[in-house]
Amino acid sequence: QKEVEQDPGPLSVPEGAIVSLNCTYSNSAFQYFMWYRQYSRKGPELLMYTYSSGNKEDGRFTAQVDKSSKYISLFIRDSQPSDSATYLCAMRPHTGGFKTIFGAGTRLFVKA
Protein backbone atom coordinates (compact mmCIF):
# COMPACT_ATOMS: atom_id res chain seq x y z
CA GLN A 1 0.00 0.00 0.00
CA LYS A 2 1.32 3.43 -0.91
CA GLU A 3 1.85 5.92 1.88
CA VAL A 4 -0.19 8.51 -0.04
CA GLU A 5 -3.09 7.64 -2.33
CA GLN A 6 -4.48 10.05 -4.88
CA ASP A 7 -6.99 9.36 -7.62
CA PRO A 8 -5.24 10.13 -10.93
CA GLY A 9 -8.46 11.16 -12.69
CA PRO A 10 -8.82 12.70 -15.15
CA LEU A 11 -11.49 14.91 -13.66
CA SER A 12 -13.45 17.02 -16.12
CA VAL A 13 -15.73 19.83 -14.93
CA PRO A 14 -17.50 22.81 -16.53
CA GLU A 15 -16.24 26.32 -15.91
CA GLY A 16 -17.59 27.74 -12.66
CA ALA A 17 -17.93 24.37 -10.92
CA ILE A 18 -16.61 23.65 -7.45
CA VAL A 19 -13.79 21.11 -7.65
CA SER A 20 -12.84 18.75 -4.85
CA LEU A 21 -9.48 16.99 -4.97
CA ASN A 22 -8.49 14.49 -2.29
CA CYS A 23 -5.68 12.40 -0.88
CA THR A 24 -5.58 9.75 1.80
CA TYR A 25 -2.51 8.72 3.70
CA SER A 26 -1.44 6.03 6.11
CA ASN A 27 1.38 7.59 8.17
CA SER A 28 -0.03 9.32 11.25
CA ALA A 29 3.31 11.16 11.71
CA PHE A 30 2.61 13.47 8.75
CA GLN A 31 2.22 17.04 9.99
CA TYR A 32 2.93 19.25 6.97
CA PHE A 33 0.55 19.08 4.05
CA MET A 34 0.97 20.71 0.69
CA TRP A 35 -0.79 21.02 -2.62
CA TYR A 36 1.19 21.64 -5.79
CA ARG A 37 -0.13 22.57 -9.20
CA GLN A 38 1.70 21.35 -12.28
CA TYR A 39 0.93 22.64 -15.74
CA SER A 40 1.79 20.50 -18.72
CA ARG A 41 5.55 20.34 -19.38
CA LYS A 42 6.33 22.47 -16.32
CA GLY A 43 7.60 21.79 -12.82
CA PRO A 44 5.21 21.69 -9.83
CA GLU A 45 4.52 25.00 -8.09
CA LEU A 46 3.32 25.33 -4.51
CA LEU A 47 -0.34 26.21 -4.16
CA MET A 48 -1.20 25.66 -0.50
CA TYR A 49 0.80 24.74 2.60
CA THR A 50 -0.78 23.79 5.92
CA TYR A 51 0.48 22.52 9.22
CA SER A 52 -1.50 19.93 11.18
CA SER A 53 -5.32 19.90 11.05
CA GLY A 54 -7.81 22.51 9.95
CA ASN A 55 -8.67 24.68 6.98
CA LYS A 56 -6.71 27.27 5.06
CA GLU A 57 -8.17 29.57 2.47
CA ASP A 58 -6.41 31.54 -0.27
CA GLY A 59 -8.66 33.21 -2.81
CA ARG A 60 -10.61 30.53 -4.66
CA PHE A 61 -8.62 27.72 -3.04
CA THR A 62 -9.30 26.02 0.30
CA ALA A 63 -7.12 23.30 1.78
CA GLN A 64 -8.59 21.04 4.41
CA VAL A 65 -6.80 18.52 6.63
CA ASP A 66 -8.59 15.87 8.68
CA LYS A 67 -5.89 14.04 10.59
CA SER A 68 -8.35 11.77 12.40
CA SER A 69 -9.41 10.34 9.04
CA LYS A 70 -5.98 10.75 7.42
CA TYR A 71 -7.62 12.67 4.60
CA ILE A 72 -6.76 15.96 2.93
CA SER A 73 -8.72 17.96 0.39
CA LEU A 74 -8.28 20.88 -1.95
CA PHE A 75 -11.38 22.79 -3.01
CA ILE A 76 -11.39 25.13 -5.99
CA ARG A 77 -14.34 27.52 -6.22
CA ASP A 78 -15.52 29.09 -9.46
CA SER A 79 -13.13 26.93 -11.45
CA GLN A 80 -11.57 28.45 -14.57
CA PRO A 81 -10.02 26.89 -17.70
CA SER A 82 -6.68 28.20 -16.42
CA ASP A 83 -7.05 25.81 -13.46
CA SER A 84 -6.61 22.88 -15.86
CA ALA A 85 -3.49 21.16 -14.57
CA THR A 86 -2.30 18.22 -12.53
CA TYR A 87 -2.65 18.70 -8.76
CA LEU A 88 -0.28 16.83 -6.48
CA CYS A 89 -0.70 16.45 -2.76
CA ALA A 90 2.44 16.16 -0.65
CA MET A 91 3.13 15.60 3.01
CA ARG A 92 5.94 15.35 5.50
CA PRO A 93 6.40 14.44 9.17
CA HIS A 94 7.37 17.08 11.72
CA THR A 95 10.67 15.37 12.41
CA GLY A 96 12.70 12.84 10.52
CA GLY A 97 14.53 14.88 7.98
CA PHE A 98 13.84 16.01 4.51
CA LYS A 99 11.68 13.40 2.92
CA THR A 100 8.44 14.62 1.38
CA ILE A 101 5.98 12.05 0.08
CA PHE A 102 4.00 13.00 -3.03
CA GLY A 103 0.76 11.68 -4.36
CA ALA A 104 0.66 10.59 -7.99
CA GLY A 105 -1.39 13.65 -8.96
CA THR A 106 -4.93 14.24 -10.22
CA ARG A 107 -5.35 15.60 -13.72
CA LEU A 108 -8.06 18.29 -13.86
CA PHE A 109 -9.73 19.69 -16.98
CA VAL A 110 -12.00 22.72 -16.70
CA LYS A 111 -14.09 23.18 -19.83
CA ALA A 112 -15.06 26.67 -21.01
Partner 1 sequence: DVKVTQSSRYLVKRTGEKVFLECVQDMDHENMFWYRQDPGLGLRLIYFSYDVKMKEKGDIPEGYSVSREKKERFSLILESASTNQTSMYLCASQTEPTDTQYFGPGTRLTVL
- 88 lies in the binding site for partner 1 (CB under 8 A): yes
Q: How far apart are CA 97 and CA 110, in angstroms?
A: 37
* SS3 (DSSP) at 2: coil
Q: What letter represents residue 37's amino acid?
A: R
CB-based contact 14:80 (threshold 8 Å): no
CB-nearer residue toward partner 1: 102 or 109:
102
- 99 lies in the binding site for partner 1 (CB under 8 A): yes
- 111 lies in the binding site for partner 1 (CB under 8 A): no
Binding site for partner 1 (CB under 8 A): 4, 6, 8, 32, 34, 36, 41-46, 49, 88, 92, 97-100, 102-105
